């Protein structure tokens, strides 16, 4: 009888121990899961390379500069990133790393580009490294699409022209009337991401006889973003806390991939904005 009681007590202790161990392992696994905070934005330097041409928003004015200081401080203190991934050409990595090192030392003034205005600030405040996640080896293969579009799909061509005009007017109005914080909130809303991706689906079915110009254009844009996401995955080692800063045209797709990916944990940027 005593032996049975001792056995029962032993089993209870063992079960409690196993539950504690499993909880501890789960917590450790959660802690080790790479976390990714993705920020979509417009290009601060506005090089005019996008299909939608918008007016420049001057981030060098006093109010947006104050906001950038406060925003980057919040992200650095609360998210505590270990790495900041930025949208710049990998071929420029040596020069970019040198500028960042000089900025940390206090001998480099930030340029207007978001890579420096936001990326350098966050990395310095958090004591984090920076790296490129861009991939420019796959261009947007849209020349053939635009060549056949007016002839094979004139209604779609008209719709596309109207959509570009509407988006341009909408963004220009927002950039004239909103603060930087309000703009970044808009650029990181799921509905804004959906509209961005829908732009490419509008022409996806356009095809001349025996060809798939619309599909080829859409696929090339998605391929570039898949390549960019692959670089995020390669950097996402256990325990890493990564900030990703890129144009909203990229992050609209990348955020979808991040939500699907069970090996990474997405962190919503909106509470920080």
User: Each residue of 140-160: pLDDT tens digit?
Assistant: 999 999 999 999 999 999 999
Q: Calculate mean pLDDT across residues 110-122.
A: 98
Q: Calculate mean pLDDT across residues 124-136.
A: 98
- pLDDT surpassing 90 at residue 1: no
Q: Calculate mean pLDDT across residues 8-17.
A: 56
pLDDT the model gives residue 46: 74
- At residue 44 the predicted structure's pLDDT band, cuts being 50, 70 and 90, is very high
> What percent of the chain clears pLDDT 70, i.e. is strictly above it?
86
Can you tell me the distance from the alpha carbon of 231 to that of 223, in angstroms, rounded to the nearest whole number? 13
pLDDT the model gives residue 9: 65
One-character DSSP codes across 122-179: HHHHHT-EEEE----SS----HHHHHHHHHH-HHHHHHHHHHHHHHHHHHHHHHHHS-
Can you tell me the distance from the alpha carbon of 133 to that of 234, in angstroms, rounded to the nearest whole number? 10
- pLDDT surpassing 70 at residue 76: yes
- pLDDT surpassing 50 at residue 20: no
Mean pLDDT, the chain, rounded, equals 91
Can you tell me the distance from the alpha carbon of 185 to that of 188, in angstroms, rounded to the nearest whole number? 5
Structure tokens at 35: 């976390």
Distances (CA, A) of 268 to 11, 12, 37, 110, 122: 43, 41, 6, 26, 16
**What are the residues whose beta carbons fall under 8 Å from the beta carbon of 152, sequence distance 6 or more?**
206, 207, 208
- pLDDT surpassing 60 at residue 22: no
- pLDDT surpassing 60 at residue 63: yes
Can you tell me the distance from the alpha carbon of 11 to that of 63, in angstroms, rounded to the nearest whole number? 65
- pLDDT surpassing 80 at residue 135: yes
Number of H helices, E strands in the chain: 11, 5
Q: Calculate mean pLDDT across residues 81-85.
A: 99
- At residue 31 the predicted structure's pLDDT band, cuts being 50, 70 and 90, is confident
- pLDDT surpassing 90 at residue 253: yes
Of 133, 145, 166, 126, the residue nearest 208 (C-alpha): 145
**What are the residues whose beta carbons fall under 8 Å from the beta carbon of 157, sequence distance 6 or more?**
149, 150
Note the CATH number of domain 34-273: 3.40.50
Q: Calculate mean pLDDT across residues 4-19.
A: 55
One-character DSSP codes across 97-130: HHHHHHHHHT-----SSHIIIIIIHHHHHHT-EE
State pLDDT tens for residues 204-224: 999 999 999 999 999 999 999
pLDDT the model gives residue 51: 54
pLDDT the model gives residue 4: 56
- pLDDT surpassing 50 at residue 68: yes
pLDDT the model gives residue 27: 45
Name the least confident of 54-58, 228-232, 261-265: 54-58
The residue ranking higher by pLDDT, 10 or 60, is 60
């Amino acid at each position: 009888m005593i032996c049975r009681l001792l056995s029962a007590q032993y089993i209870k202790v063992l079960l409690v121990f196993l539950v504690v161990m499993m909880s501890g392992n789960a917590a450790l696994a959660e802690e080790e899961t790479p976390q990714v905070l993705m920020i979509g934005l417009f290009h601060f330097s506005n090089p005019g390379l996008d299909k939608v041409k918008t007016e420049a928003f001057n981030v060098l004015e006093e109010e947006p500069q104050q906001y950038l200081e406060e925003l980057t401080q919040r992200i650095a203190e609360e998210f505590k990133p270990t790495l900041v991934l930025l949208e710049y050409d990998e071929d420029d990595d040596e020069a970019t790393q040198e500028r960042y090192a000089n900025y940390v030392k206090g001998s480099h003034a930030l340029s207007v580009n978001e890579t420096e205005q936001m990326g350098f600030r966050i990395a310095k405040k958090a004591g984090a490294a920076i790296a490129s996640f861009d991939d420019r080896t796959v261009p947007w293969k849209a020349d053939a699409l635009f060549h056949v579009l007016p002839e094979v799909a004139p209604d779609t061509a008209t719709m596309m022209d109207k959509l570009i005009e509407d988006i341009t007017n909408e963004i220009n109005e927002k950039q004239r009337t909103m603060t930087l914080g309000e703009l970044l909130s808009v650029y990181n809303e799921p509905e804004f991401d959906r509209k961005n991706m829908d732009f490419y689906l509008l022409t996806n079915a356009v095809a001349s006889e025996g060809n798939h110009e619309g599909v080829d254009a859409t696929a090339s844009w998605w391929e570039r973003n898949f390549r960019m996401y692959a670089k995020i995955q390669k950097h996402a080692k256990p325990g890493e806390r990564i900030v990703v800063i890129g144009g909203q045209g990229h992050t609209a797709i990348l955020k979808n991939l991040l939500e699907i990916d069970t090996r990474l944990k997405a962190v919503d940027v909106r509470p920080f904005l």
